[in-house]
Every structure is written in C-alpha cells, then in structure tokens.
A = this chain, B = another copy of it.
Amino acid sequence: MKHPLKQHIEEIIKLTDEEFEFILSHFETTTKRKYQYILQENEIADKEYWIVKGCLKSYFFDESGKEHILQFGMENWWITDYESFIKQSKSKINIDCIEDCELLYITYENREKLTKEMHKMERFWAKKSKFGRIALQNRILSLLKNSSKERYEFLLEQYPKLFQRVPKKLIASYLGVSRETLSRLNS
C-alpha cells in the first residue's frame, strides 16, 4: 500500500519510490496523547508536523484570557506555527492535541536541507505556501463578508467530520463568536 504521505505529496508532484524514501528519511515519527502540546507560546517552532491520525488545534489567548482558535488539524494536514517556523521567531500560539495523535514531523534544518537537495521539494513547498495563502485570503474574505451563521454553515458543509470530533465551544472560538451565540444559531 502506498504511504499516505507519498499520496499526499503526489497530489502536487509525482515521485519515484526512491525519491519518496529519501524524503521520508528526513522525517521522524511521534505519538502524542490528548491534551499534550506540540508547541507552546514563546517557544520557537522548530518542527512542521504532518498528521497521520488524530486532531489538533492551534490557538492563542487575548488579554482577557479568552482562547481563539486559529486552525484545526486533522489527518493529512500540516500543522505548525507558520510564522514562527519560517522566521524561526518566538511563537505567539499554542498547538495541542484534541485526540490521541500519530504524527510525522520534519525539523526546520531538515526542511532547509531537503529544499536545497531536491528541487521537487522546493516546488512542493512553494506550491503548498501559495495554496495556504489562498486559503487564508478566503478566510479573511469570509470573516469580512459572511455573518457568523453563514460562516458556521459553510464550515459544517466543508468539514462535517469536525463537528463529531471537537466540542462546539472550539468551533465557536474558530468562527470568532461566543459559544452561546453559536448555540443559538440553529434556532
């Protein structure tokens, strides 16, 4: 059976088995329990994770101590604090596990190395960065244009699985509304 990461990369760039083995040799495996973090505020994100199994959240706190969710992560998604990872600067966010997780990760150094060693991966990451940027642009469009009810319905439509896996108060936090408001959106 094809390795799920190979399948994922091949959505963008075709690889020989040897090439994939070479790529994979730059990654490590780890498992984490529910509630364990993989990144905490003020640390430098020195790893980018690829989620084999499980569910995570990246989030931060405002001055009043309220939690805001920036991103969820599920199977076949990448997760890290992108800003901290790219700039190797202190992270403003936390990432931790909502479920027990099985993760692959690549360190910053290995990613730099792999980018230089293998032009295909430079192109892969460039494309991933472009699409990530487009996704963020669309999220901003949606935050400006759509009501919370529309954003809720859109998320439900796009990621129905998410609603069976994570508590609604986290969904509310992702959408930028209070949990009470989210709870009343159905009526």
Contact = CB atoms under 8 A, between A and B. Distances in A.
Interface string A135-148: 01111110111100
Given A129-B126, A136-B133, A144 B70 contact: yes
Interface in A120-163: 122, 125-126, 129-134, 136-141, 143-146
A83 interface: yes
A60 interface: yes
Contacts of A145: 60, 62, 68
Contacts of A136: 133, 136-137, 140
Contacts of A141: 60, 68, 70, 92
A69 to B, nearest CB: 8
B133 A70 contact: no
A136 B122 CA distance: 22
Given A122-B122, A145-B60, A86 B176 contact: no
A137 B86 contact: no
A87 interface: yes
Contacts of A146: 62
Which of A92, A122, A125, A129 counts the most chain B CB atoms within 10 A? A129
Interface string A24-61: 00000000000000000000000000000000000010
A134 B70 contact: no
Given A68-B144, A70-B141, A136-B137, 13 more contacts: A62-B145, A62-B146, A68-B145, A70-B140, A82-B134, A82-B137, A83-B134, A83-B137, A83-B138, A86-B130, A122-B122, A129-B130, A133-B133
